[in-house]
Structure 1
Amino acid sequence: MPSTPDRPTRVRLDRDGGPVLMDGPVEVVTEDGATHLSHRPTVALCTCRRSARYPWCDTSHRARAPRKGGAPDAPEEESR
């Protein structure tokens, strides 16, 4: 459903460096001219360019993004 004056497209921005969340469906045209279409009700667009599914977010940003406390994500140690 395209946006209309009565129902504009909603975009959600987050400060954590994660994806841009948009109300779908959405059509994305990337810089190489390729068109990508999603009919999902909410779409996560990659902003870090680490996604193997670019332009869609696959949460690759989580592996390198600093946590809110400032420390980078590290694998949890196994309990013994």
Structure 2
Amino acid sequence: MTGRKTTIHTDDETDRWRWVCPRGHRSWEPTNNHFWCAKCARRWAQDAEMDPEFRELRNKRTGETKRRDEIRLVTPAGPYEHREESV
């Protein structure tokens, strides 16, 4: 990955509401090498297509998608570091 990463502040309401899971939910959380969505996880029991794990977020405003390795997440405790080798 070359170039600048898109920064998302996880405690910033605007950032959190701008970026959504592939199905449009805003209840996503980062994990080490992907993302997880609480709403997709709740629906997963009824619909196996609702995989709660995914590797891209979509910008609700622009439609642009960013892979996990193209995003820099910043938490109140500092940058959220993930380990690519755990993939």
Band the TM-score falls in, shorter-chain normalisation:
under 0.3
Give the TM-score of the pair, scaled to structure 1: 0.24
User: Higher strand fraction: Structure 1 or Structure 2?
Assistant: 2
Rg larger in structure = 1
User: TM-score when scaled to structure 2?
Assistant: 0.23
The structure whose RCO (Cα within 8 Å, separation 6+) is larger is 2
